[in-house]
Amino acid sequence: MGFNNQGIDYLIENVKRCQYKGNIGINIGKNADTPVEQAADDYVYCLERAYPHASYITVNISSPNTKNLRDLQSGEALTQLLDTIKNRHSQLATEYGFYVPLVLKVAPDLEPLQVDYISQQLLDFEIDGLIATNTTLSRVGVEDLPDGEQAGGLSGRPVSHISTQILQQFSDQLDGKVALIGVGGIDSGAKAVKKIEAGADMVQLYTGLIYRGPGLVQSCIQAIGGYYDAMEL
């Protein structure tokens, strides 16, 4: 399936027409048919077009639906990718005269050594934020459900625990040096607070909105506000 959309140029035209005045994050990644060795070309292409229109840009290296994309999460592949992206990002900041934050989006299916390596890369390349996490390849908890073994990323409640665990691991490694955005299985205010307790500075909602509707946003705001109020007492 890959990133099932009509591409960055189509997206930018939509953004230009948008009347929304709040923050807009633009998520970029390689095409499904681009070899992983040439992935940086796709990211730079998207980065250049998104830069003047985005409040922040997400470098997605964790979608399980794009072939070999997760190969970019470790080793020299990640180092080379971030080096190329960050160099062009710095040039764009100079060209436009303003800075657009850059965040990295990772999978929940990471080993501790991968968390360590990614954390160091975030610091070395001065990446502004980390989104933890994308969807999971695990089927724990849904194995016996109809269609539970379908291919692709699993989102929603089943990913909540493992995504929070990975978030906590990154929080321990980064110690407040990189902004953390918690995402995965937030379907209540209490789940949003769990992300904050694990180290998130912000949260994102996706699948929970399908089941709970826009009222979920207010529930999360109230719960997180109550959490911080209690911390100040």
Phi then psi for residue 180, to 5 deg, are -115, 130
3 belongs to a structural domain? no
The count of structural domains within the chain is 1
2 belongs to a structural domain? no
Quick one: pLDDT at residue 112? 94
Quick one: pLDDT at residue 67? 67
pTM score > 0.85 for this model? Answer: yes
CATH of the domain at 192: 3.20.20.70
Instruction: Residue 57: give the domain boundaries.
Output: 8-232
1 belongs to a structural domain? no
55 belongs to a structural domain? yes
Choosing from 63, 119, 171, 219, the catalytic residue is 63
pLDDT less than 70: residues of the chain = 1-2, 67, 69
> Does 63 participate in catalysis according to the annotation?
yes
